[in-house]
Structure formats: structure tokens, C-alpha cells
């Protein structure tokens, strides 16, 4: 399936010791790639929880004057994405106009860092498929439930660009820290700036960390920090000793990271 919608813009960010993607995002060096969530897990995390999602229906006429943002969304056991829209939404009208046929559609998700940092776009995902009405899906007054049968998933994020198999997407689980990431990163940025900055002592070339550090991403495998310096700065990834399962585990792992930085 050809992915309709807007092309991925250049989101060039600070330079890193490692290789850069075609879109400018820092990437880990391949030979030293840390443990990381799979592409299917990353896509599932974005689809289930990221707030910046909009539906695109190619050829929709008249063209919507505002993004088609679902009221709610969820992923079913088979990997279908369920989207709740107001009954008067152009998306609902498009499905009705298809008269029982399928309407091609793409769910576009933009992942934005929840902290104040230059180049805040961390990644994008596109879930392309076919949109139909769910029989008896008007579970709320004035709203209708639509089903997006997934045909193709494309991901471009801090880890790299990837195609995700729909079956792997259906079997994947969202990261257990996704619901806490915003709160944790904002707390670290607001109340623990100095401690976050000390992590640079664990990175070779620490003398480049001259103007600050901001935590930009967190998952069960580790923490990513953006260090700023006179040369523009770089991203560094700090792996946890073992994947964590929840908030308590993440807090313990970060305390261990800060302790190692103080000793280093």
C-alpha cells in the first residue's frame, strides 16, 4: 500500500558521536547498539498512547478544515485500530459514503518530546489500512466507532526507520513506562537538572557537555539524554542493568545511574 499523507520533514537535531539518520535524528552506532524495544513495540506504544494522532483519508471532499483527531482509540486483539469519532465527523461521513465498502485511510502519529528542548520531534508513525464502521458501534451518544484494518505500518524514530509487520504489531505490547514517561521526564528536567547533567561523566568526550542536559526519552530499557555544548551537542543513551517493569523499577534504575555518574 502506498502511504498517502505528508512526507516526513527534516527533523535534524544535535549531532551525536554515532551515525545520523537521513532525517537528522541521532542514532546509536550499529556495532554498539544497546538493547532496545522492537519496532513493533515502539509502534504499538505510539498508537496506543501518543496524544498527537490524526486520521488522513485521501481524496476526502470537501477537504477537512481541521485534523481528524479521534476522541479515543485502542488496539484490538487482532491488531485492528479502533477510533471513536463524533457522528458528524468527516471520517464518519466518508465511511457512510463508501456504502459498506472500505475507505483507505492513514493514522498519522507525531511523537513530540514532553520537555522543552530544541528539535522536539522524536519520531513519526503511519498506520495505513482500510476504514469501516463497527456494527452497533455507537457506544456513546453522538459518537461512532470506526475500525482501521491495518495493512502497513511505517515508523521513523530515534532508533531508526522501519516497516512493521501487522502480525508483529498485533502481538506486541506497549512499553510499560509509556504512561509514566511524560511525568518522569518533566520531573527530571525541572527538579534534577544537575543530576541529569552528571550522566555526561559516563560518556567519552564529556568535556563537550558545557551548557546543559535534558532527558528526552525513556523506556523500559533505558534513558536517553540530550547534552548541549558549544559544538551543538549530542544524544547519549544510558541502558538500565535490566529491563524494568514499571515506575518503581525505573526509579531504582535511574538512582543507580546517578550513583554511577557521581562515582565516575
Whether residue 253 lies inside any domain: the answer is yes
Report phi then psi at 80, rounded to 5: -70, 145
- pLDDT, mean of residues 78-104: 92
Confidence grade of residue 21 (pLDDT, cut at 50, 70, 90): very low
What pLDDT shows up at residue 87? 93
What is the DSSP track for the chain? ----SPPPPP------SS-B-TTS-B---GGGPPP---HHHHHHHHHHH-S-EEEE-TT-SSPPSS-B--SEEEE-TTSPEEEEEETTSHHHHHHHHTTTS-EEEEEEEEEE-SS--SS-EEEEEEEEEEEEEPTT---STTEEEEEEEEEEEEEEETTEEEEE-HHHHHH----TTHHHHHHHHHHHHHH-HHHHHHGGGGSTTGGG--SEEEEEEEETTEEEEEEE-TT--EEEEEE-SS---SHHHHHHHHHHHHHHHHH-
Question: How far is 110 from 124, CA to CA, in rounded Å?
Answer: 5
- pLDDT, mean of residues 177-205: 93
What pLDDT shows up at residue 124? 98
- pLDDT, mean of residues 54-82: 95
What pLDDT shows up at residue 177? 97
Whether residue 26 lies inside any domain: the answer is no
- pLDDT, mean of residues 111-124: 95
- pLDDT, mean of residues 225-241: 87
What pLDDT shows up at residue 204? 78
Whether residue 18 lies inside any domain: the answer is no
Whether residue 208 lies inside any domain: the answer is yes
Bridge partners, 225 (sequence order): 215, 236
| R_g (Cα) of the chain, nearest Å | 20
Together in a domain, 186 and 254:
yes
Confidence grade of residue 233 (pLDDT, cut at 50, 70, 90): confident
| Domain limit, last residue, from 139, 172, 205 | 172
Share of the chain above pLDDT 90, in %: 72
More confident residue, 161 or 4: 161
pLDDT tens string 96-116: 998 778 899 999 999 999 999
Q: Is the pLDDT assigned to residue 47 strictly greater than 90? A: yes
Number of domains in the chain: 2
Together in a domain, 163 and 47:
yes
What pLDDT shows up at residue 135? 87
The CATH number of residue 95's host domain is: 2.30.110.10
Q: Is the pLDDT assigned to residue 18 strictly greater than 60? A: no
What is the DSSP track for 104-154? EEEEEEEEE-SS--SS-EEEEEEEEEEEEEPTT---STTEEEEEEEEEEEE
The CATH number of residue 254's host domain is: 3.20.180.10
Together in a domain, 161 and 48:
yes
- Domain span at 58: 38-172
Share of the chain above pLDDT 70, in %: 85
- pLDDT, mean of residues 152-177: 97
Confidence grade of residue 61 (pLDDT, cut at 50, 70, 90): confident
Average pLDDT along the chain: 86
> Do 43 and 171 form a contact (C-beta atoms < 8 A)?
no
- pLDDT, mean of residues 49-70: 94
What pLDDT shows up at residue 215? 97
What pLDDT shows up at residue 127? 98
Cell of 8: 516526513
Together in a domain, 168 and 48:
yes
Together in a domain, 127 and 97:
yes
Q: Is the pLDDT assigned to residue 19 strictly greater than 60? A: no
Together in a domain, 142 and 191:
no
Confidence grade of residue 13 (pLDDT, cut at 50, 70, 90): very low
> Do 245 and 176 form a contact (C-beta atoms < 8 A)?
yes
Least confident of 55-59, 102-106, 207-211: 207-211
Amino acid at each position: 500500500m502506498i502511504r498517502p499523507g505528508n512526507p516526513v520533514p527534516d527533523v535534524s537535531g544535535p549531532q551525536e558521536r554515532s551515525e545520523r539518520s537521513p532525517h537528522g535524528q541521532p542514532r546509536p552506532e550499529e556495532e554498539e547498539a544497546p538493547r532496545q524495544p522492537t519496532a513493533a513495540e515502539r509502534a504499538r506504544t505510539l498508537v496506543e498512547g501518543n496524544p498527537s494522532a490524526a486520521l488522513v483519508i485521501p481524496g476526502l471532499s470537501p477537504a477537512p478544515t481541521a485534523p481528524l483527531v479521534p476522541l479515543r482509540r485502542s488496539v484490538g486483539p487482532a491488531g485492528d485500530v479502533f477510533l471513536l469519532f463524533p457522528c458528524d465527523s468527516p471520517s464518519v461521513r466518508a465511511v457512510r459514503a463508501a456504502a459498506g465498502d472500505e475507505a483507505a485511510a492513514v493514522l498519522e502519529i507525531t511523537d513530540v518530546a514532553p520537555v522543552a528542548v530544541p528539535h522536539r520531534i522524536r519520531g513519526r508513525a503511519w498506520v495505513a489500512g482500510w476504514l469501516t464502521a463497527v456494527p452497533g458501534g455507537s457506544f456513546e451518544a453522538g459518537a461512532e466507532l470506526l475500525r482501521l484494518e491495518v495493512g502497513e505500518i511505517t515508523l521513523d524514530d530515534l532508533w531508526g526507520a522501519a516497516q512493521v509487520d501487522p502480525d508483529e504489531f498485533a502481538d506486541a505490547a506497549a512499553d510499560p513506562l509509556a504512561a509514566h514517561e511524560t511525568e518522569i521526564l518533566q520531573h527530571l528536567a525541572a527538579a534534577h537538572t544537575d543530576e541529569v547533567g552528571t550522566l555526561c561523566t559516563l560518556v567519552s568526550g564529556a568535556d563537550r557537555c558545557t551548557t546543559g542536559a535534558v532527558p528526552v526519552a525513556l523506556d523500559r530499557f533505558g534513558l536517553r539524554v540530550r547534552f548541549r555544548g558549544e559544538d551543538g551537542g549530542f544524544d547519549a543513551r544510558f541502558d538500565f542493568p535490566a529491563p524494568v517493569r514499571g515506575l518503581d523499577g525505573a526509579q531504582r534504575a535511574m538512582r543507580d545511574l546517578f550513583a554511577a555518574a557521581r562515582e565516575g
